[in-house]
Amino acid sequence: MSFSKYLIQRLIYAVLVLIVISFLIFMIVQLPRGDAVDRIVNARQAQGDIITEEDEAALRAQYGLDKPIFVQYFIWATQFARGNMGHSMLGIPVDKLINERIAATVLLSVISLIVTYALAVPIGIYSATRQYSLGDYFWTFVGFIGLATPNFLLALILLFLFHKFFGLSIGGLFSPGVEEQPWSLAKALDLLNHLWIPIIVIVTAQTAGTIRTMRATLLDELGQQYVVTARAKGLRYRQLLFKYPVRLALNPVVNSIGYILPRLISGQTIVAIVLNLPTLGPLLFSALLAEDLELATSILMIQSILAVIGVILGDIILSLYDPRIRMEKGVS
């Protein structure tokens, strides 16, 4: 199957998946909370306005809430697909609120992904080639702790340590007052200064998992007979290692890009709330607490779209890296 045909199939499938997801999200967020009109009526009555049954019905008609839920969903979905996400409760267009934060979310996810692999692959190779050495035990230990620590806790602990030993406050992505300034070298450095703590926190769990995968598969490969044969024929160890076993062991690791990206987007949600980062997570949290449903639905939808894009990118990278995958997966 040609690559472009495979790609088109993947994209069509992704769109179908997103349609189902959008329906689920719409139901989860909007269905259980009564409707917006009830809240508006309550708020107005609290201010002393008198609202008749007709007023309520008129409001319902205005927001389209007099129609069955499926019709409501259809209206919302078509509007969303056109990029019209409505207004938040504070009257700010939802797409403006989201646009402000989407860049930071994507930036954080992509850097986290790169850092995850940049750390996990070399450490995995090191641990597998020096099995049961001190270094191997050290990284195994770090890996277990990394997997066991919820990342918001890690964020709290790091915040605490930095506060205690350096007197620094490390929340946010910029120092106070820097964000409004135009881009300059100083601003970029300030960003870097704030970025590395959240990155460490976000990547820890994924890195720990990836190290274990890399180590286990590479150990399997190193035990194969072709390694012995190649050594017997006089191939240098380092040359052999990077030419065959490492490349094969990278397969499941590359394969994991597809699910690591959604997990990074998911995992950074709570970290971002704790560290007060300008990403989508904290916005979703406050929107849900304030029952700002339009905003919450849109954010969940955008996060899912980012996750699905991540999965597709993962599939594409994998199929470029290993053509066998394309042949197998292309059929379904």
| Token code pair at residue 194 | 């704030």
Residue 169: HSE in the Cβ half-sphere, 13 Å Cα cutoff: 8
- Per-residue exposure over 46-74, b if at least 16 CB sit within 10 Å of its own CB, e if not: eeeeeeeeeeeeebbeebebeeeeeebbe
| Residues with Cβ within 8 Å of residue 95, at least 6 apart in sequence | 83, 84, 85, 298
Q: Using CB under 8 A, which of 198, 209, 245, 281 touches other proteins?
A: 281
Q: Is 321 in the site for other proteins (CB under 8 A)?
A: no
Q: Using CB under 8 A, which of 2, 4, 32, 232 touches other proteins?
A: 32
CA distance 215 to 227: 16
CA distance 44 to 40: 6
**Amino acid code (one letter) for 243:** K
Q: Is 96 in the site for other proteins (CB under 8 A)?
A: no
Q: Using CB under 8 A, which of 274, 277, 295, 318 touches other proteins?
A: 274
Q: Is 244 in the site for other proteins (CB under 8 A)?
A: no
Q: What pairs with residue 323 in β-bridges?
A: none
Q: Pick the piece of the chain touching other proteins (CB under 8 A) from 95-103, 178-186, 221-229, 265-273.
A: 265-273
Residue number with CB closer to other proteins (222 or 265) = 265
Strand ranges in the chain using DSSP code E only, listed in sequence order:
none
Q: Pick the piece of the chain touching other proteins (CB under 8 A) from 26-34, 56-64, 220-228, 315-323.
A: 26-34
How many Cβ atoms are within 10 Å of 190's Cβ, its own excluded?
Answer: 17
Q: Is 74 in the site for other proteins (CB under 8 A)?
A: no
Residues 118-177 that bind other proteins (CB under 8 A): 144-145, 147-150, 152-153, 156-157, 159-160, 163-164, 169
Residue number with CB closer to other proteins (244 or 259) = 259
| Token code pair at residue 170 | 């490390």
Residue number with CB closer to other proteins (110 or 189) = 110
Looking up tokens 């001190």 gives 134
Number of residues that bind other proteins (CB under 8 A): 48
Residues at the interface with other proteins (CB under 8 A): 17, 20-21, 24-25, 28-29, 32-33, 144-145, 147-150, 152-153, 156-157, 159-160, 163-164, 169, 259, 262-263, 265-267, 269-270, 273-274, 281, 284-285, 288-289, 296, 299-300, 303-304, 306-308, 311
